[in-house]
Amino acid sequence: MPQPGRRQLLAAPALLLATAPALAQSPAPSPGTPPTAQAPGWFRFQLGSFTVTTISDGHARRNIEGLVLNAPAETVREVLAESFLPTDHYIGPYNVTFVDTGRQLIAFDAGTGGQLTPSAGRLPAHMAAAGLDPARVGLVIVTHCHQDHIHGLTNAAGAANFPNAEIAIAEQEFAWWSDATNETRSPQGQRVNFANVARRFAPYQGRIRRFAPGAEVAPGITSVPAFGHSPGHTVFRVSDGNAQMLVLADLTHRPELFARRPDYISLFDFDGAAAAATRRRILDMAATDRIRVTGYHFPFPATGHLARDGEGYRFHRAEWG
Amino acid sequence: MPQPGRRQLLAAPALLLATAPALAQSPAPSPGTPPTAQAPGWFRFQLGSFTVTTISDGHARRNIEGLVLNAPAETVREVLAESFLPTDHYIGPYNVTFVDTGRQLIAFDAGTGGQLTPSAGRLPAHMAAAGLDPARVGLVIVTHCHQDHIHGLTNAAGAANFPNAEIAIAEQEFAWWSDATNETRSPQGQRVNFANVARRFAPYQGRIRRFAPGAEVAPGITSVPAFGHSPGHTVFRVSDGNAQMLVLADLTHRPELFARRPDYISLFDFDGAAAAATRRRILDMAATDRIRVTGYHFPFPATGHLARDGEGYRFHRAEWG
Q: Does A130 touch chain B (CB under 8 A)?
A: yes
- N- to C-terminal Cα separation, chain B: 36
Q: Determine whether the interchain pair B307/A84 forms a contact, defined as Cβ–Cβ distance below 8 Å.
A: yes
The string of pLDDT tens digits covering residues A27-77 is 333 444 456 689 999 999 999 999 999 999 999 999 999 999 999 999 999
Residues A280/A273, Cβ–Cβ less than 8 Å: no
> Pick from B40, B103, B136: which is nearest to A39 by CB?
B40
Q: What are phi and psi of B44, to 5 degrees?
A: -130, 140
Give A133's Cβ-side CA count (13 Å radius). Answer: 10
Sequence-distant (6+) residues with CB within 8 A of A86 are A80
Compute the Cα dihedral for B104, B51, B149, B238 and give only its sign: positive
Thinking of the domain B41-317, which architecture would CATH place it in? 4-Layer Sandwich (3.60)
Task: Please name which of B282, B289, B181, B165 lies closest in space to residue B235, comparing C-alpha atoms.
Answer: B282
**pLDDT, position B255:** 98
**pLDDT over 70 for what percent of chain B?**
89
Residue B25 has pLDDT above 90, yes or no: no
**pLDDT, position A35:** 60
**pLDDT, position B321:** 76
Pairwise CA distance, residues B107 & B87, whole Å: 32
Pairwise CA distance, residues A291 & A245, whole Å: 6
> Pick from B4, B30, B202: which is nearest to A105 by CB?
B30
The string of pLDDT tens digits covering residues B183-209 is 999 999 999 999 999 999 999 999 999
* Sequential DSSP letters for B191-238: THHHHHHHHHHGGGTT-EEEE-TT-EEETTEEEEE-TTSSTT-EEEEE
Pairwise CA distance, residues A72 & A74, whole Å: 5
Q: What is the mean pLDDT of residues B3-8?
A: 37
Pairwise CA distance, residues A202 & A196, whole Å: 10
- Identify the burial level of B65 via C-beta atoms within 10 angstroms of its C-beta, where 0-12 means exposed, 13-18 middle and 19 or more buried: exposed
Residues A240/A176, Cβ–Cβ less than 8 Å: no
Encoded amino acid at B212, one letter? A
Other beta carbons less than 10 A from residue A88's beta carbon: 8
The nearest alpha carbon in chain A to B211 belongs to A19
The string of pLDDT tens digits covering residues B35-48 is 568 999 999 999 99
This model of the complex carries an ipTM of 0.88
Residue B19 has pLDDT above 50, yes or no: no
Q: Determine whether the interchain pair A164/B25 forms a contact, defined as Cβ–Cβ distance below 8 Å.
A: yes
Sequence-distant (6+) residues with CB within 8 A of A144 are A173, A229, A230, A232, A233, A234, A249, A250
Residues A71/A257, Cβ–Cβ less than 8 Å: no
Which residues of A are less than 8 Å from B158 in CB distance? 1, 3
Pairwise CA distance, residues A253 & A229, whole Å: 10
C-alpha dist (Å) from residue A219 to A209, A222, A225, B167: 15, 8, 18, 56
**pLDDT over 90 for what percent of chain A?**
88
For chain B, the structural domain boundaries read: 41-317
Residue B266 has pLDDT above 90, yes or no: yes
Q: Which pTM value belongs to this model? A: 0.89
Residues A198/B6, Cβ–Cβ less than 8 Å: yes
Query: Comparing A7-16, A56-65, A73-82, which segment has the lowest mean pLDDT?
Result: A7-16
Pairwise CA distance, residues B248 & B234, whole Å: 8
Query: Comparing A30-39, B82-91, B176-185, which segment has the lowest mean pLDDT?
Result: A30-39
Between positions 209 and 248 of B, the ones with CB within 8 A of A are: 209-210
Distance from CA of B257 to the nearest CA of A (A): 14
Instruction: Find the helix packing angle between B192-201 and B171-178, rounded to 10°.
Output: 110
The string of pLDDT tens digits covering residues B220-234 is 999 999 999 999 999
> Pick from B16, B58, B103: which is nearest to A206 by CB?
B16
